[in-house]
A and B are shown apart, each in its own frame.
Chain A
Amino acid sequence: MNGGKGGVFTRLFNYLRVFFSAMDKSHRSQVTGMTEFEQKELENLFVLLLMGSFMGVPSPPSFVAAELLPHLEHEIKVLNERAKDSFDTMAEMVGTFDID
């Protein structure tokens, strides 16, 4: 009887733990999703500013860009990604704001 009672509680406890950890995860991913989006936007902006001369936008003296170039692999990839996805802004918005 006692064991059975303990079993129920343990099972309940485990169930709740899984439930809350899943909730935690989903909340975290919701929060980080937005922040990640912001981060990517900023990274995109950073490289755009640095290499604006490619598109005819005034840019900093080229040697600043040249000195930073070797450290910007990730950011340039982000820039490429954003450029590739830019034709489908609607889908991106829907994705970001988690609308089904």
Chain B
Amino acid sequence: MKTIFFTGKGGVGKSTLSAAAAWQLMERGNRVLAVSFDPAHNLGDIYNIKLSHKKKRFKRTNLYLQETDLEKSASEYIKSNMDLLKQVYSYMSTLNFDSYFDILKYSPGVEEYAALTSLEKILKEEKDNFDYIVFDTPPTGLTLRILALPQLTISWIDRLIKIRKQILEKRYTIHKLSGTYDEKGTKLAYTEEEDTVIQNLYNMKDRYKGVQDFIQGENSRISVVFNPDFLSLRESQRLLEGIYDLNLPLGTAFNNKFTEEELEVGNGVEKELTKQYPDLTIERVLLGKNKKTDTYIMDKDLIKSF
């Protein structure tokens, strides 16, 4: 399975290009899943069908479409955590604190986490069902934060594991000499196998490492979409910087909505980008028909095989 993420400033045509790319890949005989992470969902509008959280087959083709509802994922995540908390602090269910936690879905970081969880779920569940998964992402800022999250979390988890190991070492020493107990006289875990905290940390690390390895791996590409204007150039530069910082594999960049009238600006934008990133391949996508060569966007292969 291979994945392509279409990223870029709002309104540059990420949804259109990802929808077109998904269609082309399907026509080439692949099983394709197109997923929209953008809260302003357009994928269904482009294909003119109503989509939901669940994947839906498009007209008996090998193309499946899905719109991930980040808000729904966020509330699912909060619910699962609340259930866990209720098990631990059982008196909460009697006091019915539920209503007080409605606000939790507006907590910072929840949306990114929900997106990451959905991404992890899709990668895990659809790994064998599809040849290509095409992601339409939310605008730059959020996308970069989502893509950075596994790396960030792993480095935190590593640090926590290190401290936890030291704690267990101390506990082991004390256990050897006199036994380790807490205030209530229960034995404290002193081996990694017994310690639920370190086991949880290892589990979390494995999970994020899986996502991280995948999005950094050779089966994944991040495509940047921009328009022939300097405003979207500046944002693309920031985006590319972020992608290089995170060590993510860069795919083709698309100069979308290119017109013959704005040839000069379009050339200027491309020139500046290639000066900064010499190995970046830029593909021009014309707005409408190319009068000289008489070709439409759908006539050329958007995704070179990788």
A28 interface residue, CB < 8 Å from B?
yes
B52 interface residue, CB < 8 Å from A?
no
**What number of A residues sit within 8 Å (CB to CB) of B?**
28
Total CB contacts across the A-B interface at under 8 A: 76
Give the segment of B151-159, B231-239, B294-302 that binds chain A: B151-159
User: Which of B107, B109, B170, B183 is within 8 Å of A35, CB to CB?
Assistant: B170
A68 interface residue, CB < 8 Å from B?
yes
**Contact across chains for B166 and A64 when beta carbons are under 8 A apart:** no
**Contact across chains for A46 and B167 when beta carbons are under 8 A apart:** yes
Contacts of B198-220 to chain A: CB distance below 8 A: 200-201, 204
User: Which of A38, A66, A71, A74 is within 8 Å of B81, CB to CB?
Assistant: A66
Q: A45-B163, A49-B159, A70-B87 are in contact. Are A32 and B174 (CB under 8 A)?
A: yes
Which residues of the other chain, A, contact B45 by a CB distance below 8 angstroms? none
A21-65: CB near B (< 8 Å → 1, else 0) gives: 000000011011001101100110110011000000000111110
**Contact across chains for A42 and B166 when beta carbons are under 8 A apart:** yes
B197 interface residue, CB < 8 Å from A?
yes
Q: A68-B197, A71-B200 are in contact. Are A42 and B153 (CB under 8 A)?
A: no
Residue of A whose beta carbon sits closest to that of B153: A61
Interface residues of B (CB under 8 A from A): 77, 81, 84-85, 87-88, 107, 109, 113, 149, 152-153, 156-157, 159-160, 163-164, 166-167, 170-171, 173-174, 177-178, 182-183, 188, 196-197, 200-201, 204
Interface residues of A (CB under 8 A from B): 28-29, 31-32, 35-36, 38-39, 42-43, 45-46, 49-50, 60-64, 66-72, 74, 77
